Amino acid sequence: MVSASGLPAPKSMDAIMSLCKRRGFVYQASEIYGGINGFWDYGPLGTLLKRNLREAWWQDVVMVPCWGRRGPDGETVSIVPVDTRIIQHPKVWEASGHVAGFNDPMVDCRETRGRYRYDHVQVFVPQNDQPGDKPVFAYVGDQPSEAKQRKRAEKTFGAVKPVALSSLAQPWARVIAPDAEQPGTLTEPRMFNLMFDTVPGAIRDEANKAYLRPETAQGIFVQAKNVWDTNRVRVPFGIAQAGTSFRNEVTPRNFTFRSREFEQMEIEFFVVPPEFLEGDEKTTADPLAWYKFFRDWRMEWWKSVGLGGENLILRDHATDELAHYSTATSDIEYRFPFTSPGFGELEGIAYRGNYDLTQHQKHSGTKLEYRDTGRGEVLPNGSRRGVSYLPHVIEPSAGLDRGVLALLCEAYTKDESRPSPEFMKFHPRVAPIKAAVFPLMDKDGLPEVATKLHAELAKRFARLGMIETDAKGSIGKRYARMDEAGCPFCFTVDAESLKGQSVTCRDRDTGVQTRMAIDSVVGFVGEKLGA
């Protein structure tokens, strides 16, 4: 099936969710109590899938950064981990801008369904008159509504002047909202409570209010100075952290895509500010060179775990889309069934300048400059005087749960021509079940051979994922079960195995069987898993 856009018809999200429940990938949180909006739990297979994806990130980012590649400056990439708390000092979130951004009162228009920041809404009132109970015309500056509303107001009152909506007492019945026809369609301002709060301390005291982190990144920035003061790291280097974050999404939606509790995998990679670069460094070690390096490598990485193909794109942000502190940002986006033909964000790679360190330096009153002893004036003894600066930062920030959801959507395959029409095409590296061993029949000495091979595989690979064995039922049914769980390889012991010490290896994606020596199975699986 091909849709009007020329794309294959999106996979059925209902079918994917149904399989996720049926096979124990994802359950609704607190389901027996009716569920809780915006929270999802993982079952055994989902937990393993998620662990495998997190572990792949950890191995490729922290243990062997960027697969051992050299950065644009020609040096090995250095990244160290931290593990910081979900609850930080409340001022962390004032410095980061989250408190302000998360606490704006908003007004909604019932007629146009527009939503505006209360403090951004202006109204036109008569120039030399009290507005009394006359209608007032609301607009948001720099939008087309401003000119239009001015015209309407002048038609009604003659000369008008703008005042803040918030300066009027009880205006709600007579406000004509931007782009609205009727008065009285604006709601009273409401707070959008986007950060979860909590109160540390055994005695509840609102003055001690703290927040559950809305991102793991700030924990990294807050400890960055400690990391470079107490470890032998030198800029450029990165700090990585994976962990849980919380956001009060306005509308939890689209299965696990927009959850209120979710896990992030973030890198803050600190680089030399451009003004301190010398000679060739101006091209090879420029922040933008690092930005491109990470952007392109992160894209390759997502492909390597099984998201290749046309459903994955790298999208550079347009200038007007950039946050005010960023000069370059791109998103790695996946075409989810529920976003198709559009895309949903998996990871953002942003060049953030020194915005975050500047903010924390200011709010904490603690100097966060890095002392770079490899730069500055050359002293008589040949060493350098050293310079101090706030490093610039490249931030590749990925959503782990979104990654898992993308893996589930990408893996889900429907093929009515197969005996097992639904199957999960996981890359072996992330597959929760790595291999299965079956005796063709539950008799004639076959189970004994299968048990032995299963034990060998489990000894070698069970720390990476499940190794299954099952002797019951028809062989087709057992293959089909493994297909649904996404197990890439099934090894079957048959009568020939007893004579020739060989088994068949069935490939999940093609159903093709090849015969191989029992002795070679462990090596074969190891090679496929890259283990």
Contacts of 18 (CB under 8 A, 6+ apart): none
Nearer to RNA among residue 199 and residue 323 (C-beta):
323
Q: What is the largest CA-CA distance in the chain?
A: 104
| Contact flag: residue 172 with RNA (CB under 7 A) | no
CB of 242 to RNA, least distance (A): 17
Of 125-133, 172-180, 268-276, 434-442: span binding RNA (CB under 7 A):
434-442
Name residue 206's amino acid.
E
Nearer to RNA among residue 41 and residue 300 (C-beta):
41
| Contact flag: residue 4 with RNA (CB under 7 A) | no
Per-residue mark of binding to RNA, 358-397 (x: CB under 7 A) = ----------------------------------------
Of 17-25, 45-53, 79-87, 200-208: span binding RNA (CB under 7 A):
17-25
Contacts of 411 (CB under 8 A, 6+ apart): 306, 424, 425, 426, 486
As beta bridge partners, residue 258 has: 253
Q: Which of 55, 94, 119, 249 binds RNA (CB under 7 A)?
A: 249
Q: Which of 258, 292, 303, 363 binds RNA (CB under 7 A)?
A: 258
Q: Which of 494, 521, 525, 529 binds RNA (CB under 7 A)?
A: 494
CB 186 within 8 A of CB 108: yes
| Contact flag: residue 472 with RNA (CB under 7 A) | yes
Compute the distance between CA of residue 75 and CA of residue 92 in angstroms, rounded to an integer: 33
Q: Which of 9, 12, 35, 199 binds RNA (CB under 7 A)?
A: 35
Q: Which of 238, 243, 252, 353 binds RNA (CB under 7 A)?
A: 252
Size of the site for RNA (CB under 7 A): 65
Compute the distance between CA of residue 490 and CA of residue 499 in angstroms, rounded to an integer: 20
Helix and strand numbers (H, E) in the chain are 14, 27
Taking the C-alpha atoms of 473, 476, 477 and 483 in order, what is their torsion angle to the nearest 10 degrees?
140
> Hey, which residues between 181 and 210 contact RNA (CB under 7 A)?
192, 194-195
Of 108-116, 135-143, 159-167, 520-528: span binding RNA (CB under 7 A):
108-116
Nearer to RNA among residue 12 and residue 383 (C-beta):
12
Q: How many CB atoms lie within 10 A of CB 417?
A: 5
| Contact flag: residue 98 with RNA (CB under 7 A) | yes
Query: Which DSSP letter does residue 473 get?
Result: S
- DSSP H helices in 304-421: 355-364, 400-411
| Contact flag: residue 329 with RNA (CB under 7 A) | no
Compute the distance between CA of residue 295 and CA of residue 310 in angstroms, rounded to an integer: 18
CB 84 within 8 A of CB 222: yes
| Apex 424 CA angle, 422 and 430, nearest 5 | 170
Q: Which of 280, 300, 442, 509 binds RNA (CB under 7 A)?
A: 442
H/E stretch holding 105 reads: strand 105-108
CB 219 within 8 A of CB 88: yes
| Contact flag: residue 145 with RNA (CB under 7 A) | no
Name residue 470's amino acid.
D
| Contact flag: residue 422 with RNA (CB under 7 A) | yes
| Contact flag: residue 266 with RNA (CB under 7 A) | no
CB 370 within 8 A of CB 310: no
Environment class of residue 279 by beta-carbon count within 10 Å: exposed (0-12), middle (13-18) or buried (19+)? Answer: exposed
Q: Which of 8, 9, 12, 37 binds RNA (CB under 7 A)?
A: 37
| Contact flag: residue 513 with RNA (CB under 7 A) | yes
| Contact flag: residue 504 with RNA (CB under 7 A) | yes
Q: Which of 85, 91, 253, 384 binds RNA (CB under 7 A)?
A: 253
CB of 450 to RNA, least distance (A): 11
List residues near RNA by CB under 7 A. 13-14, 17-18, 21-22, 28, 32, 34-38, 97-98, 101-102, 108, 113-115, 192, 194-195, 214-215, 247, 249-255, 258, 323, 338, 419-422, 440-443, 472-477, 479-481, 483-484, 492, 494-495, 503-504, 506, 511-513
